[in-house]
Amino acid sequence: MKWFGVLGLVALSECLVTIPLVKIKSLRENLREKDMLKEYLEKYPFRLTHKLLHKHADSGVAFEPMRNYLDIAYMGIISVGTPPQEFQVIFDTGSADLWVPSIYCSSPACSNHNTFNPLRSSTFVASGQPIKLIYGTGKMSGFVGYDTIKISSLVDRNQAFGLSVEEPDKILELATFDGILGLSYPSLSVKGVTPVFDNLWNQGLLSQKLFAFYLSSKGKKGSVVMFGGVDPSYYTGELHWVPVSKPLYWQISMDSISINGKVIACDGGCQAIVDTGTSLLLGPQDAVLNIQEIIQARRSTSGEYFIDCDAVNTLPDILFTIDGIGYPVPANAYIQKDAALGICFSSFEGNEDILNNLEEWILGDVFLRLYFTVFDRENDRIGLATAV
């Protein structure tokens, strides 16, 4: 059993459940250390990091592109089955389905991770439904089963989830998590499958139809995802509520992106997806290239944009204005340092794909580390406040 330092699962109260999240080494760091980053980026160009929904023609099978797998950063622990089998999963607002590796998977990626054995669970029920999830940089396929899922003190019974049979891509072999627990809208899930959050709500396990994330930064501990309530000790000031513009992903309208009062992107408004499963700040290729030039980031042979580490002390904030409220992202957030190699790189990444012909951004962990975020399904809105 792999262990990444989670000290336990804690329930703050009967109606507010928090799950500690652990910051893990990103796949970008793993690839860089193995001298595989350049080869990977050449094989999977940046445009493949974007997530668009595609439905498979066959009934019961959905193609569901997910996050940029280069920089996944946070995970927590859940258990599946009776008696419980533990898995480290990404709590991902950019997808809707839960899946874990299974004992029926012979891919190297499965041999490197915890695998679920349905024969050991007295509450497991199989189904004949196949599942196939397509990532920007990999894929998994398998079948759907039903079992008891335990998330902190929450006991989610008869929960549909995917058991992988194939995880053929190298990138999943290098991943330091076992599976993924999606938290986006059910319209993004595999046909006929009720996502975990909806099942929790339908079973009356939550006092409020919402969840929230606090992602710690700068090596600090204490990252949590909260279900059924909000703990105000994780943020300062008031929550500012932004309506969801399209209930598929957690998508909102953004006014502009600016530096020192000058708009540098999203001029006239654009769309943004708030995604805990993406590490960086993703945007249209041309807009991001303009930002890289402004902050004097230089493209390396590996495809990354490196920047002088001293620039963190001189570059201004980049302001993301959402529903009339400005959310500054300082240089020490949009410039990331690889401590092992002593190099710094830009947290902006270009994306050539455009959803629904609109300029679209993905606000990943770089943004979410700064702002405590509430995902309110009851009112189809997102709440943002400055994280402590």
The pLDDT tens digits for 30-64 are 666 666 666 555 554 333 233 333 333 333 222 22
| pLDDT at 97 (0 to 100) | 94
Q: Is 169 one of the catalytic residues?
A: no
What is the biggest distance separating any 2 CA atoms in the chain, rounded to whole angstroms?
A: 61
d(CA 250, CA 357): 18
Residue 205 reports pLDDT greater than 50: yes
Q: Where are the domains of the chain?
A: 17-211, 231-387
Given 71, 97, 169, 275, the catalytic residue: 275
Q: What is the pTM of this model?
A: 0.86
Residue 317 is a catalytic residue: no
The mean pLDDT value for 101-111 works out to 95
Cβ proximity of 24 and 177 under 8 Å: yes
Residue 177 CB-density burial (10 A; 0-12 exposed, 13-18 middle, 19+ buried) = buried
Give percent of the chain above pLDDT 70.
Answer: 80
**CA proximity to 318, closest of 379, 266, 257, 372:** 257
What is the rounded CA–CA span in Å between residue 200 and residue 196? Answer: 6
pLDDT digits (tens, 9 = 90+) for 354-378: 444 468 999 999 999 999 999 999 9
Q: Which residue is catalytic, options 71, 92, 147, 169?
A: 92
Confidence of residue 86 (pLDDT cuts 50, 70, 90): very high
Is 17-211 assigned to CATH 2.40.70.10?
yes
Q: 231-387 in CATH: which number?
A: 2.40.70.10
Judge whether 17-211 and 231-387 match in fold.
Answer: yes
Q: Which of 276, 132, 155 is nearest to 205 (CA)?
A: 155
164 exposed, middle or buried (CB, 10 Å; 0-12, 13-18, 19+)?
buried
Given a contact cutoff of 8 angstroms between Cβ atoms, the answer to whether 37 and 171 are in contact is no
